A and B are shown apart, each in its own frame.
Chain A
Amino acid sequence: MTDHDKIPVTVLTGFLGSGKTTLLNRILTENHGQRIAVIENEFGEIGVDQELVINAEEEIFEMNNGCICCTVRGDLIRILGSLMKRRDRFDRIIVETTGMANPGPVAQTFFVDDDMREQFALDGIVTMVDARHFALHVDANEEAREQVAFADVIVLNKTDLVTAEQLDALERRVRAMNALARIVRADPLERARIPMESVLGIGGFDLARALEHKPTFLEPEYPFEWVGLFGLEAGPHELVLENGPDPAMGLALFKAVGGADEAARDAAERAFQWFSDDVAPIPPGQRIVPASVLVELDLRDAGTKRFGCDIAERGDYWLATEHLPEEFALRLLDPRGRSVTAQREQAFDPGHTHDDEISSLSLEAEQPLDPKKFSDWLGRELQVQGASIYRMKGFLNFKGVADRIVIQGVHMLTDNTSLGPWGHRPRRTQIVFIGRKLDTEALSSGFYTCLAE
């Protein structure tokens, strides 16, 4: 059976009142052409109007007493077994959990044995977050933290109840707990309204996208969130910013060393030292010149703010900004007023405190892995740390294996499959662990002993 033949399963989690049922009803009424079987753990206040709705009573099954890594949901196994006898009546399954449910056993149910893995594909865990009450929930409940940590997609819902600044802060906190998930903000005018493609059919594509474009967890914490490389001609340029979340923002504009080939991390390391300088903010209308210094922009005025930017010679320049450019709709205009796009860019995690004890670790290697060493190491590590590792995902580059291997796991259970040849993609291993109090030292040091000789 190929991955295309498997039945995709979406697990919908979220704390009480976060809007799970509202989203579920949206999914069911959206015109996506899919027949959906719904497994519900509770009948909420809002009914679900659907032909194939099955009510389940949470039944925790410890396959190996006391081992949370081997804990699955017996009720789901019963229902899935029964649903398979009606396979022709639906195309997809959505499991809506109770607000207090730990997503671990639900997710593990789909990894628990080979037959389950052959018939079902865990398409994604979607976690609804009540933007207004999330802090309250997450501070008081382990389940709320786990729901975020396990998620592939996190929907920030009820966004009409918080300010833009509060929403940004919420997104940062959520991002700090789960570096890999796609974070989607629901429409503030219509709760739980989000693009359906952001929650259905996400599968491996989302993993590729996340790993290739958002590896912020790879980086050390910098006092800035973004660097971008620009090829600029000589002449007067302009930095244009709109209203944003901060009345001031630090940035550095500096020449790339060795031209366009300089790595973003090298540029970030150079900029790091300047950002500790104490400088006076400059008001809009002032001019900036490329230099190894921090510039603090005064952004208190409402509306569009423009700063001159004098480039003496044509070349490659880095711009490091304290906030993400999109937060201020930042644009760099050339002497003819055209917007210049960054040739390369990298976002970094802002300096945050890991008060939630839940974090992500990403490991990466260009050198191929030895399959036997890696398999043995991962097996040992999952036995030791499996209870702490909520999710694991990654692409594996093995010596002697032509294909790109994708791996994902929940606690101690893993599944891997071939995505076909690497093709034009650079062969590189990237693996991410999301968990609680991870022993990152052990994971990092062990991982690099698996490199092939």
Chain B
Amino acid sequence: MSDQPTPPPKPILSPFQTASRLGVILVVIALLGGAFAYTGGWLDPQRLTPTRIVDSFEQASGRHPGFRRNHAKGVCVVGLFVSTGAAAKFSSAEVFAPGRRTPVVGRFAIPGGNPYAPDGGVPIRSLALRFNQLNGQQWRTGMNSMPVFPVATPQAFYEQLQASQPVAATGKPDPERMKAFFAAHPETAPFLQWVKSAKPSASFATEAYNGLNAFFLVNDAGQRQAVRWGLVPEETAQPGGQPLPADPDFLAQDLAQRLAHGPLRWHLTLILANPGDPTNDATKQWPAGRTVVDAGTLLLQSTEPQDSGPCRDINYDPLVLPTGILPSDDPLLAARSAVYATSYERRTSEEAGVSAAGHTAPPAAKDPRS
């Protein structure tokens, strides 16, 4: 009936043989499943994962569905970058070609996970940019107004996040815990030195923004040059600072008022490392006297609220880079990229009403305006 060839006679397995062969199969499956679970971090709760860092932000500031987990309060800006061409001999990126005009979608923000925080509460402002090159490649970067990052490694950053968790009694971080953290992390000294005298600015427009992490510029000949970039404003703040307006959202208002009178300008400066300058330590500024290249002018022309503006759906992942820029060995870069991806996954999932895999959400924080 069947046109199957007759199988060759095979020895009958004893019950012991059958059981041991089944055992072998189960062991193979269990080993493969176990290796998968280990790789995914499920057997290793102590591993520092993007999930644990993003959870810490939520723990500190409450969960604000749809918002970024850090730098949650911000506004969108739109403009363009006009290249001088001075950086073209260091990097083959299209954005640096002489006279090239590259459209930019940016976002000003203040640090912290609370989208309703008062602007005067922190002395740091940030600016993230996405350059859309005509060739389809993009350059995304996030910059901050401080000159150095407090810590050099993701592990230290996580410890800082843990040390600064608000305590239930006061709603503020425990000063003793903070002190202990900073004592255990002497690399935070330059940041603490800066923050001692730093005052919250009354405007985004008068701030300089620093990339903090190092990268490599790569030119057409394949030569690599270590670099840190920053933005230097053309606007200047009133000497001695100015009293901060009472409105907690004064930064967005100031920005809109200034843009109503015309575009705001910054110079994109590339600080070129000397041989031996550290590229893996964002807590250390490079010594003075480094060559600084004025790569061009950033013109910001208009602003929109972040819940409807074009920056809303952008993940300013610092590792989205065009040809001609490469990441350095700074360990913060991969961590930022991984953590931003998790933040982006959560906030878009909240908007879509689907639950992000592996995320057991704490209850949403109360929106003070709803």
Q: Do A and B make up one complex?
A: no
